[in-house]
Amino acid sequence: MRKYILLAAGIVIVLAALIFWYPGNDQTEKAELLKETAGPSAEIVETVAEPSVNPVEEKAALADLVAKYKGLQLIDAHNHGASFYKYKGMLNTWKEDAVHQVVLFGNSSEPAAIDTDETAWNAYQQYPELIIPYFSGFDLHDKGSLEVVKNNLEKGYFGLGEVAGASTASPSMSKVAWKANDPMDGYLPQIYDLIAAYKAPILMHVDPPNGMPVAKLEEALAKHPGTIIIFAHINAYNTPEEVDRLLGKYPNLYADFFAGFSVYNPDSGKHPELYIPVMKKYPNRFMLSTDSGYGIGGEEQAIDAMYRMIDLLGDSAVARKIAHDNLAAIIEAQPATVTQMKALRKLEQQTGKSYDKAKLSKAEAGTILAEAAKGE
Ligand SMILES: [Zn+2]
């Protein structure tokens, strides 16, 4: 027994000696000393750290940002997750990361989009408070596209997108069967007028974000001033100066900011702070999105990037607009449609309930109808 006590004491002495002589100890002492002597700048000692590459630490950083900004009710303005397994798989993450609502669609401007449009609709029927369904399954070169757009907006979809308004550089978008040659191609001009009557926006992919495609986008914006055009991932392969120029010239242009691109994609140069001045200059026309984490380390990293932009904004009023209010205003301004009104009247007859239909918005009508359908 005595032998073991001696052994334990010996171990303690050796450990104590190791701790005392460990070179790191000296560093800690220096840091402590700096803290004591350096006054207000002492905080710098604590914040100078290598950027974290440890996924566990990244997760912790995201959790901190979520805790700080969950009250903003962040909306993801651009999400391709309209497949059953994708959106079901994201439900927990959205909840955990306080993503309040998601603009959901799937494929863009190709026949496969007809199916994913329906999936987005079904997701909305299941989760009307979470999902904002858009659609993209129409051939804008075909006159029949006008009928599809009208029917879908009547049904209760809130916007068109992501529509390929022009694409030659994007590996995925440049190949879609129904892409437009430019933002004035095919029936797009008629579609702009049609959706203006519904106050519905179009989320439009335009690449490259310069030259002829942008000249034609400008023509569309000028000729259809009542149509809300949201430039999809406006910050991708673009400059803050060009974004400033476009927003300054066209009040009906909105900017979908794919935060993950500017924060995490090496192609961006990773200087998201360069966009803060233009965001503050047009605080009513930016929105944030994940683009489902396209080209970066996944969708949750893209959510993380949205929170980092909010953190960089450092102005809670502007952050609230860009995180939530701007897109929410576009959605809430859409009135209930004739088709929704018919369905509501039918519902009233069936249930004996009555709704104040005079001022009902599309979103309010949509939620009532979805909840009623769930109860059936
Ligand atoms: Zn996209």
pLDDT of residue 99: 98
**Residue 229 alpha carbon to ligand 1 centre in Å:** 15
Residues in contact with 265: Cβ distance below 8 Å, sequence separation at least 6, in sequence order: 295, 296
The answer to whether the CB of 261 falls within 8 A of the CB of 295 is: yes
pLDDT of residue 26: 38
**Residue 104 alpha carbon to ligand 1 centre in Å:** 10
Model's pTM, two decimal places? 0.85
If 0-12 CB within 10 Å is exposed, 13-18 middle and 19+ buried, where does residue 254 land? buried
Longest dimension (CA), the chain: 96
Distance CA 13, CA 15 (A): 5
**Residue 196 alpha carbon to ligand 1 centre in Å:** 22
Report the length, in residues, of the chain: 376
Other Cβ atoms within 10 Å of 52 Cβ, number: 12
**Residue 286 alpha carbon to ligand 1 centre in Å:** 16
Residues near ion ligand 1 (CB < 5 Å) are 162, 291
pLDDT of residue 375: 78
Arithmetic mean of pLDDT, 218-231: 98
Task: Report pLDDT digits (tens) over 39-72.
Answer: 334 333 444 444 555 667 777 799 999 999 999 9
Pairing assessment for the beta strands 253-258 and 286-289 based on DSSP bridges: parallel
Task: Report pLDDT digits (tens) over 311-357.
Answer: 999 988 999 999 999 999 999 999 999 999 999 999 999 999 999 98
What residues does 257 pair with on adjacent strands?
288
Other Cβ atoms within 10 Å of 58 Cβ, number: 16
**Residue 369 alpha carbon to ligand 1 centre in Å:** 29
Arithmetic mean of pLDDT, 83-105: 97
**Residue 112 alpha carbon to ligand 1 centre in Å:** 15
Distance CA 109, CA 154 (A): 20
The answer to whether the CB of 189 falls within 8 A of the CB of 164 is: no
Question: Mean pLDDT, the chain, as a whole number?
Answer: 89
Letter for the amino acid at 112?
A: A
